[in-house]
Amino acid sequence: MSQRNIAVPDQAADLDPGKMEACTVLEVINRVSGKWAIGILLEATRGPVRFTELERSVEGISRRMLTLTLRNLERDGLLKRTVYPTVPPKVEYEATPMAKELYGSLTGLVGWAERYREAITEARKTYDGHTAC
C-alpha cells in the first residue's frame, strides 16, 4: 500500500454548537433525522428521560455522541434539559411541544424501516448479483 504525506488542519469542527448558522430546511431535516437524533427524540417524547437511560436505550451510541446530540437538540429548542441539584446529580431530558409534533413522522419512518428491512436486504442481494457477475 502506497501512501502520501499530507497536511492536516490542527482543529476539527465536530458537531460543536456555534456552527450551522444558516438553518435551511435541509439542515433542519438533517439535524432531526440524523444518525442518533431520532432515537433520542422518540424516547424524550414518551416522557422525561435521564442521560444514562438514553445511553442504554439508544443502541450503539457513545457517551460523547449522546452528549453532543443532546446539546444540539437542546440548542435547537427540541429538548428541555432539567437539572436536579441532588447527590448524585440527576438530569432529565424531555421533548418540547414543537418536537412532539415530529413524533408521527418519526414513528412513520421507523415503522417503514422495520417493515421493509428484509425486502431491502433482498433487493441489495439481487442488485449486487446481476451487476457483479
Partner DNA sequence: CGGTATCCTTGACGATACTG
Partner DNA sequence: CAGTATCGTCAAGGATACCG
Query: Which cell is 126 given?
Result: 439481487
Q: Assess 132 for contact with DNA (CB under 7 A).
A: no
CA separation for the pair 50, 85 (Å, rounded): 14
Please answer whether residues 99 and 44 qualify as being in contact, where contact means their C-beta atoms are separated by less than 8 angstroms: yes
Which CB, 13 or 87, lies closer to a second copy?
Answer: 13
Q: Assess 64 for contact with DNA (CB under 7 A).
A: yes
What part of residues 59-118 is at the interface with a second copy (CB under 8 A)? 59-60, 74-78, 98, 101-102, 104-106, 108-110, 112-114, 116-117
Binding residue for DNA, selected from 1, 2, 5, 13, defined by CB under 7 A? 13
Q: Assess 47 for contact with a second copy (CB under 8 A).
A: no
Please answer whether residues 59 and 110 qualify as being in contact, where contact means their C-beta atoms are separated by less than 8 angstroms: no
Cis peptide before 88 (omega within 30 of 0): yes
Which CB, 25 or 87, lies closer to a second copy?
Answer: 25
H or E element at residue 46: helix 37-46
What part of residues 29-48 is at the interface with DNA (CB under 7 A)? 34-36
* Burial of residue 2 (number of CB atoms within 10 Å: 0-12, 13-18, 19+): exposed
Binding residue for a second copy, selected from 8, 13, 83, 87, defined by CB under 8 A? 8
Which CB, 12 or 133, lies closer to DNA?
Answer: 12
> What is the phi-psi region of residue 25: left when phi exceeds 0, alpha when psi lies from -120 to 50, beta otherwise?
alpha
Q: Which residues of the shown chain bind DNA in the complex (CB under 7 A)?
A: 4, 6-9, 12-15, 34-36, 50-53, 60-65, 67, 70-71, 81, 88-91
